[in-house]
């Protein structure tokens, strides 16, 4: 059965949550005074989630995070007040392509954020119709730009060129920000070495088998503790641990120094993905830091069909190996080959064998095969995409 998505403050847990007869369980985002502190899964019994069962799950699985936050409040330790410089202003960029319904939801949520003089920018990437343009026109103050070269990284680079503010915050068109999303991202740029900030991304819905499997195999969240990554604390090739491009902000001046996104990578190209992760690795390789901020919350609509999920998993495998190939080409470091080989033989192949032996406890076999095929194709797809890009430029 489907999984309900609930958003509950631990200081105001209701006696019960009713009206859930269509669901077998609930994924509950837990907040303390507005700030995400954890999540739990609880069963739905007779269409209800009992408050007593939810409290028990909170104490058992998330207790420490809540006690820590309460202790901070009792000590009057406000992490947000530790910033010593003014919070920068931002351009919020939504890169979209032929998903007007998703875009409308995203812009509606963006319009509900506090007005901190942020710029709202929609980059319409190689659209097949004017549907996204017409959606944008219904939101006053949103600037529309059309980018006719296909590729998500082309759209991201266009957004950076068009941005009028120092920080460019990216959110996917199929995601919706929490009201405090942008402020939580921006407060992390107090450190001049922080070139990028990523945030917590939760599923907007888990109505289908594909969406539930997506959240099980490849969740976008990276926990509920703020973390700061650099090349000393994390191998830059382990870029998946720092976050995802669905929810990230970049210091524009740093990107201009590092160079643009690799336009041979990510959606709209042969490589399917990898543009954000390649940029994360390049940021850390050059001595900058990446902060993960769980207070920067957004909600993502996962792919609803199994066909879409299988293609996405294939794309993730292809994108990771394409990103490693890009780093090997651009950074000229032979060491980039080592993590690819280790990941393939230590994780990818064993995952496939586990799926063959006990598919009910591991990734379904078709998804494991799709990911493995993507991994093997990634380097070739990257060079193919580069050739197409060069031919198109000529």
Per-residue pLDDT of 187-201, as tens digits, reads 999 999 999 999 999
Nearest to 155 by CA among 269, 70, 60, 238: 269
Q: Which of 12, 44, 77 is the last residue of a domain?
A: 77
pLDDT score, position 266? 96
311 shares a domain with 294: no
Q: Global pTM?
A: 0.90
The range of the structural domain enclosing residue 384 comes to 307-393
pLDDT band at 81 (very low <50, low <70, confident <90, very high): low
Q: Which of 263, 283, 304 is the last residue of a domain?
A: 304
Nearest to 156 by CA among 258, 262, 67: 262
165 shares a domain with 219: yes
224 pLDDT above the threshold of 70: yes
Establish if 82 belongs to a structural domain.
no
277 shares a domain with 173: yes
158 shares a domain with 70: no
pLDDT score, position 333? 61
**Token pair in block for residue 85:** 């410089």
d(CA 58, CA 94): 35
**Token pair in block for residue 344:** 């393939």
Phi-psi bin for 236: left (phi > 0), alpha (psi -120 to 50), beta?
alpha
CB atoms within 10 A of CB 310: 19
Average pLDDT of the residues in 261-290: 95
pLDDT score, position 360? 47
**For 288-315, what is each residue's pLDDT tens digit?**
999 999 999 999 999 999 999 999 999 9
pLDDT score, position 49? 96
249 shares a domain with 159: yes
318 shares a domain with 253: no
**For 164-186, what is each residue's pLDDT tens digit?**
999 999 999 999 999 999 999 99
**Token pair in block for residue 295:** 């207070």
Does residue 1 or residue 204 have the better pLDDT? 204
Which residues sit opposite 96 in a β-bridge? 124
pLDDT band at 41 (very low <50, low <70, confident <90, very high): very high
Residue % of the chain over a pLDDT of 70: 88
**For 319-362, what is each residue's pLDDT tens digit?**
999 998 998 888 766 666 666 666 666 666 676 666 665 554 56
pLDDT score, position 365? 87
Nearest to 298 by CA among 250, 248, 247, 249: 247
297 shares a domain with 311: no
77 pLDDT above the threshold of 60: yes
φ and ψ at residue 196, rounded to 5 degrees: -150, 145
Count of domains forming the chain: 3
Average pLDDT of the residues in 209-229: 93
Which residues sit opposite 91 in a β-bridge? 119, 168
pLDDT score, position 13? 93
CB atoms within 10 A of CB 210: 20
d(CA 13, CA 52): 9
């Amino acid at each position: 059965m489907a999984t309900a998505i609930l958003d509950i403050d631990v200081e105001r847990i209701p006696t019960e949550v009713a009206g859930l007869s269509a669901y077998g369980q609930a994924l509950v985002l837990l907040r303390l005074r507005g700030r995400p502190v954890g999540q739990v899964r609880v069963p739905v019994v007779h269409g209800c989630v009992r408050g007593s069962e939810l409290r028990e799950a909170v104490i058992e699985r998330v207790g420490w995070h809540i006690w820590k936050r309460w202790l901070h409040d009792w000590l009057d330790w406000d992490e947000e007040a530790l910033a010593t410089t003014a919070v920068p202003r931002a351009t919020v960029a939504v890169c979209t392509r032929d998903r007007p319904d998703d875009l409308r939801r995203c812009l509606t949520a963006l319009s509900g954020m506090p007005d901190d003089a942020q710029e709202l920018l929609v980059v319409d990437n190689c659209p097949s119709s004017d549907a996204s343009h017409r959606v944008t026109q219904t939101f006053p103050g949103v600037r529309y730009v059309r980018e006719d070269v296909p590729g998500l990284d082309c759209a991201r680079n266009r957004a950076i060129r068009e941005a009028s503010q120092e920080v460019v915050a990216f959110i996917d068109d199929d995601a919706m920000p929490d009201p405090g999303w942008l402020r939580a991202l921006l407060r992390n740029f107090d450190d001049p070495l922080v070139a990028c900030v990523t945030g917590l991304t939760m599923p907007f819905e888990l109505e289908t088998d594909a969406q539930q499997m997506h959240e099980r195999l490849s969740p976008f969240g990276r926990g509920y503790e703020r973390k700061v990554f650099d090349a000393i604390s994390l191998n830059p090739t382990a870029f998946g641990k720092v976050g995802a491009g669905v929810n990230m902000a970049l210091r524009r001046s740093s990107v201009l120094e590092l160079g643009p996104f690799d336009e041979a990578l990510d959606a709209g190209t042969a490589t399917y993905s990898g543009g954000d992760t390649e940029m994360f690795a390049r940021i850390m390789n050059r001595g900058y830091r990446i902060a993960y901020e769980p207070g920067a919350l957004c909600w993502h609509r996962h792919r609803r069909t199994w066909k879409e999920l299988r293609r996405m998993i294939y794309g993730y495998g292809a994108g990771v190996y394409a990103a490693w190939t890009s780093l090997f080409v651009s950074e000229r470091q032979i060491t980039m080959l080592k993590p690819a080989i280790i990941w393939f033989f230590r994780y990818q192949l064993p995952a496939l064998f586990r799926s063959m032996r006990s598919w009910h406890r591991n990734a379904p076999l078709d998804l494991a095969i799709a990911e493995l095929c993507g991994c093997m194709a990634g380097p070739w797809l990257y060079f193919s995409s580069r050739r197409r890009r060069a031919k198109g430029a000529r």
